[in-house]
Structures are given as C-alpha cells and as structure tokens.
Amino acid sequence: MPGIKTAVSIEKSLFEKAERLAQDMNVSRSKLFSLAIKDYIKKQENRFLIAELNSVYGKEQNQEEQNLVDSHREKHKNIIGQEEW
C-alpha cells in the first residue's frame, strides 16, 4: 500500500522520545508512528467492543435466563464434583 505524507505537530519532548525509540528499534520515524497509530486504533476498537459486550451482557437477567444459569451452575457443580483432582 503506498504511503501518504502528512505533517503533524507534536511536543518537542515527545518527538525526541519517538526519535530515540525509532533508533533503538532500528526503524524509521514513519514506521514508528505507523506502528503507534495502528496500536492505538486497535486498543480503541477493543475498548468499543468491550463497551458493547458489557452493554449486552451487563443487563439484568429475566427470570427465564436466571433459571437457566442456575440450572447450568448446578450441572457444572455435579460434573466438577465427580472429577478426581
């Protein structure tokens, strides 16, 4: 995929840290910034996904769901109780 040139403004101290890190990693500054942005985007996507899952699974259970959970817990206890540790 062809690269796109862009100009961004960042604090001098952050630029200097990025410059040192790129040198330590033996990659270009452009590569370092690309890696950092990819990592940040992935973390944000995961954060949004977790929020969506929490909104779905975080809701209170109705009585039918609670009965099913209780039933499965009891079955699980019986299965685990039969295991030799």
Transcribe 59-85 into DSSP letters: SPP-HHHHHHHHHHHHHHHHHHHHS--
Instruction: Give the span between the Cα atoms of 22 and 58, in whole angstroms.
Output: 42
Instruction: Check: CB of residue 32 under 8 Å from CB of residue 22.
Output: yes
CA-to-CA separations, 48 to 43, 55, 57, in angstroms, rounded = 9, 11, 14
pLDDT at 81 over 80: no
Write out pLDDT tens, residues 20-70: 999 999 999 999 999 999 999 999 999 999 999 888 887 777 888 888 988
Per-residue pLDDT of 58-72, as tens digits, reads: 777 788 888 898 899
Entry pTM: 0.61
14 falls in which pLDDT band (50, 70, 90)? very high
